[in-house]
Structure 1
Amino acid sequence: MLFYAALMIAKLQCVVLDCTDVVELSRFYQALLGGVVNQPDPRWSLGDGWATLHTDSGFVLAFQRVEDHQPPQWPDPARPQQFHLDLGVENLDHAQEEVLRRGALLLDAGDGKRGWRIFADPAGHPFCLVRD
């Protein structure tokens, strides 16, 4: 296996998710990942159309209001998922209960043998719970 070293051009600051309700979606991901919603940060201006979630691991998710947001329709290629998050969990069944209770929608439970399940957040973005 070959590994290539590359010069770093940039550092990932955050992943931005389009949605219609930035507060609702930031609170959803806070319930899943922990952290602080709208922690003061000089990199971003907070407001009605923008929210952030600073997780305990240092990762930042941002949420941007888009009035005519059209959520992906997994697995329909006419409205593809665009991106998704893989979130590691110890217990898939327990994690599934928790994300559903917080507003997620189960898209694909799999066959019971694989180590992940696919959900949509309240704004329709797909994400996977993956057994650690």
Structure 2
Amino acid sequence: MPVRMRLSAITLDCPDPLALAAFYQRAAGLALHPGSGPDFASLTGEHGIFLAFQCAAAHRPPTWPDDDVPQQLHCDFTVQDLDEAEARLLHLGATRPDRQPEPARWRVLIDPAGHPFCITAPTVQPGR
């Protein structure tokens, strides 16, 4: 019988946990967990899931889209308006790589520590 597990956190390595937490806090409107500090910071997400950041002084950012340093993981965020969300995230410090596989459906952005993440349009419901 499989073990029942519930996702509780997604943790990203980075050189400055508080700085990366501040980026995602402003981008997603999540609350900084009171126990956050320079070695480990986390944001309280929806449904009790934490988005966390741990200090890795030797962190090497992923080199997406090439695989010299694999992306390891990435987060996807649903937004109402791709253009508006992209502009806001770029203003907050994200960057936009040239390669965009399906920019009408989703956009790949890079957070300030070099992690790729995606913003996606809501799924269109049949009949709408």
Q: CA deviation at 1:59?
A: 2.5
Mark the runs of 5 or more structure 1 residues left unpaired by the alignment: 1-5, 41-45
Note closer, same or farther for the CA distance 1:57–1:35 as it changes in structure 2 (3 Å cut): farther
1:129 matched to 2:119: yes
Query: Matched residue of 1:90: which SS?
Result: coil
For 2:79 and 2:10, locate their aligned partners in 1 and report how far apart those are by CA, in whole Å.
20
Mark the runs of 5 or more structure 2 residues left unpaired by the alignment: 123-128
With normalisation by structure 2, the TM-score equals 0.85
Query: Matched residue of 1:99: which SS?
Result: helix
1:114 matched to 2:98: no
1:43-82 Cα distance to aligned partner (Å, 9 max, x none): xxx4320001002453211100011110001011111111
- How large is the Cα RMSD of the aligned pairs? 2.0
Name the residue aligned to 2:126: none
For 2:99 and 2:68, locate their aligned partners in 1 and report how far apart those are by CA, in whole Å.
22
**Deviation above 4 Å: which 4+ runs of structure 1?**
none
Equivalent AA in structure 2 for residue 18 of structure 1: D
The number of residues matched between the two structures is 122
1:63 matched to 2:53: yes
Name the residue aligned to 1:32: 27
For 1:25 and 1:113, locate their aligned partners in 2 and report how far apart those are by CA, in whole Å.
25
